[in-house]
Amino acid sequence: MRRTLLLKPLLLLCSLLVLTACKQGQNDIEHYPETNLAQENLIPKPLQIKATHSAFGLDQNTGIYTATGFSELGQYLAEKIKWQTNLDLSVNGTSNSNRNILIQKLNDSKLPNKEAYELNISQDSVVISANTAEGAFRGVQTLRQLIPETSNDTLSKNKLWLIPSGKITDYPNFEYRGAMLDVARHFFSVEDVKKYIDLLAYYKINALHLHLTDDQGWRIEIKSWPKLTEIGGSTEVGGGPGGFYTQEEYKDLVAYAAKQHITIIPEVDMPGHTNAASLAYPFLNGNGKEVTPYTGIEVGFSTFDTRKDSVYDFIDDVVREISEMTPGPYFHAGGDESLVTKKEDFNYFISRVDKIVKKHNKRMIGWDEIAHADIDTTAIAQFWSNKDNAKLAVEKGLKVILSPGKKAYLDMKYDSLSKYGLHWAGYIPVDTAYIWTPERYIEGVSKENILGIEAPLWSETITNMEELEYLAFPRVIGHAELGWSTEENRDWEDYKQRLANQTPYLDRMNVKYYPSKLIDWKKSKDSN
């Protein structure tokens, strides 16, 4: 096993423990119950787990200590522990305990990537070690998942939450682990998106792709083109009021996600799926028809005029304004289902947009159709339905994100009885969503070609958070594991047990998940 604890942090830890031990004398708990860290209900499954069969007793006196630069993360952990256990733990204070939590910073070149972390749990301490705040954040999620729902009230005079002891060494299988939310077909508020972000972060998802524009609505304020939201923001599927994010709200969302190490990927879908934009500014329209508001769910009837320079000036403004507010490296330019754009016009358009995106210092992501255009190899193709497009992208040296409609689409119904969802790609019960191998899903597309996977949630049939949760949960949890855990560590029978035990968390978060009969859901305290 890799040795990543360097001498300096080790000394820091030792002095901390000696200090606290002096205060309180020996650990006051004599007999810990036997535990097995390797049997815990962790999702995603960590890379390596070594159980030592004892426990760490978290109680009201436990202190949280962090390396310089990690104190915000320490506060975050304290808030989450408070939420889960009602304990008020001090952060970088003077703890009154000989059992403490330490989040330490390593500078270890042997850690394979920036999300890697180690978690060492003993009777005296819980130590999260990482090179980066991002790695430490992922480790904090693992720790959160190990804190039991109920306390032990017999081993000590204080209530104790017993965390199984041992060592976890962990890092992700794929760099990109995404979810997508369509806020264009139906609008979702900042508060809704924040809740989704909280849930995704718990399962180590690190990218949230926002589908911000479509035929039915334009959802992001662009200061240089105000009618996009004044007119384009006022419609949605079914004739509801629509809505949009002001630039301040969008920045707030980006910052909220960044705190949980989630990158926001903004999508402006073009040249098709652009009815709302063309309704606001009819010069953009290239389908030769009069533009009227659209609130249905058909696709493929709209297109920008790809041969007008003014259209590219417009796109330049949009990409610039959004890129300026988006710290992440990607800009998603759509490119799907441009059914009324001539092939050569489509390819010409995508290649010009790729250059605009690059000029604003972003890498372009596009749906798999973009593989046909002449684009830079820094662009990324997002596979959704056409395997040949994905293969073509790889042949051209592009990386791909896998979002197979038949597996990863969260908007597909579970079965014929599902209350919401579509089924053009088939029904996707919870096992079907989990049982596939991204590394071998498309012949000719192997691990090194795959940036990661993403689970899109299109919103034609959902209008509020409860409906969103019905489609996303539990399937998105399985996708989180497919993105993080290695192929050897993924197993449906094992996963379904761990999933069944997510109920305490999901109930506490008030998530209205779909109670699939395939899962033997554990009854949690909070459920009724």
- Give the interface with ligand TNX as residue ranges (CB under 6 A): 299, 336-337, 367, 384, 409, 411, 422, 458, 460
Q: What is the 3-state secondary structure (H, E, C) of 351-371?
A: HHHHHHHHHCCCEEEEEHHHH
Q: Shortest distance, CB of residue 434 to ligand TNX, whole angstroms? A: 19
Exposure string of 379-410, with b = 16+ CB inside 10 Å and e = fewer, is: bbbbbbbeeebbbbbbebebbbbbbbbbbbbb
Count CB neighbours of 38 within 10 A.
15
Give the C-alpha separation, 343 to 145, whole Å.
49
Contact by Cβ (8 Å): 205, 179: yes
Give the C-alpha separation, 132 to 198, whole Å.
20
Q: Shortest distance, CB of residue 388 to ligand TNX, whole angstroms? A: 16
Contact by Cβ (8 Å): 136, 68: no
Give the C-alpha separation, 31 to 35, whole Å.
12
Among residues 101 and 210, whose Cβ is nearest to ligand TNX? 210
Given 118, 221, 337, 454, the catalytic residue: 337
Among residues 143 and 476, whose Cβ is nearest to ligand TNX? 476
Q: Shortest distance, CB of residue 39 to ligand TNX, whole angstroms? A: 38
Q: Shortest distance, CB of residue 460 to ligand TNX, whole angstroms? A: 6
Q: Shortest distance, CB of residue 382 to ligand TNX, whole angstroms? A: 8
Count CB neighbours of 26 within 10 A.
9
Q: Shortest distance, CB of residue 359 to ligand TNX, whole angstroms? A: 25
Among residues 321 and 460, whose Cβ is nearest to ligand TNX? 460
Q: Shortest distance, CB of residue 173 to ligand TNX, whole angstroms? A: 24
Structure tokens at 157: 């005079």
Taken as a whole, the chain contains a residue count of 528
Count CB neighbours of 76 within 10 A.
18
Q: What is the 3-state secondary structure (H, E, C) of 150-190?
A: CCECCCCCCCEEEEEEEEEEECCCCCEEEEEEECCCCCCCH
Q: Shortest distance, CB of residue 352 to ligand TNX, whole angstroms? A: 20
Give the C-alpha separation, 382 to 401, whole Å.
5
Rg, C-alpha atoms of the chain: 24
Structure tokens at 368: 């798999």
Phi, psi at residue 261, to the nearest 5°?
55, 45
Structure tokens at 42: 């962790």
Task: Return the beta strands (E) in 390-516 as ranges.
Answer: 399-402, 450-457
How, if at all, do strands 161-170 and 48-58 pair?
Answer: antiparallel
Give the C-alpha separation, 69 to 92, whole Å.
12
DSSP 523: P
Among residues 57 and 405, whose Cβ is nearest to ligand TNX? 405
Among residues 170 and 337, whose Cβ is nearest to ligand TNX? 337
Among residues 118 and 269, whose Cβ is nearest to ligand TNX? 269
Q: Which helix (H) or strand (E) holds 228?
A: helix 227-230
Give the C-alpha separation, 251 to 249, whole Å.
5
Q: Shortest distance, CB of residue 300 to ligand TNX, whole angstroms? A: 9
337 is catalytic: yes
Strand partners, 456: 180
Structure tokens at 138: 């992922």
Give the C-alpha separation, 324 to 223, whole Å.
12
Task: Match 């508001």 to its residue by tokens.
Answer: 293
Among residues 70 and 384, whose Cβ is nearest to ligand TNX? 384
Among residues 301 and 492, whose Cβ is nearest to ligand TNX? 301
Among residues 299 and 509, whose Cβ is nearest to ligand TNX? 299
Q: What is the 3-state secondary structure (H, E, C) of 421-469?
A: CECCCCCCCHHHHHCCCHHHCECCECHHHEEEEEEEECCCCCCCHHHHH
- Residues with a catalytic annotation lie at 337
